[in-house]
Amino acid sequence: MRVVLFPSACSLSRRFIVAKNFESEEDCIIADLNADAPESKPLAQEYGVSSFPTIKFFPKGADQNPIEYDTGRDEAQFTEFLNKHCGTHRAVGGGLNDIVCIVPESIGCIR
């Protein structure tokens, strides 16, 4: 499982749009955390969340360190970042982008 945490301070509509784009991707989960909430403060402190918005990507595997998101804040930039780190091929709007892979891998990709 790969998880991206969007802070509650991040635009609500932006979180929902990006989450909707990836809702069919079982290995790319988008969640938010209110780091100001008393029950969330220990987790925020553990991962160095001291300013808002802070967006972190948690790669698959417990031994992986989170990746700080430091790119732009529009839907296309979030989608590109998630595709890179989740190994997905989503487009802005939730469809597939211009690279779609066919299984088995021996067939390759179509453009």
In the structure encoding, which two tokens stand for residue 34, read together? 């209110």
pTM, whole model, 2 decimals? 0.74
Provide, rounded to the nearest whole percent, the portion of the chain with pLDDT above 70. 75
In the structure encoding, which two tokens stand for residue 55, read together? 């967006």
Q: Tens of pLDDT along 57-98?
A: 888 877 788 898 888 888 899 899 999 999 899 998 888 887
Report yes or no: 18 and 78 within 8 Å, Cβ to Cβ.
yes
What letter does residue 58 receive in the DSSP assignment? E
- The burial of 48, by beta-carbon neighbours within 10 Å (0-12 exposed, 13-18 middle, 19 or more buried), is given as exposed
Q: For each of the domains in the chain, give its residue range(s) and CATH number, in order of start.
A: 2-110 (3.40.30.10)
Taken in order 2, 54, 18, 36, the sign of the CA dihedral is positive
**88: three-class secondary structure by DSSP:** coil
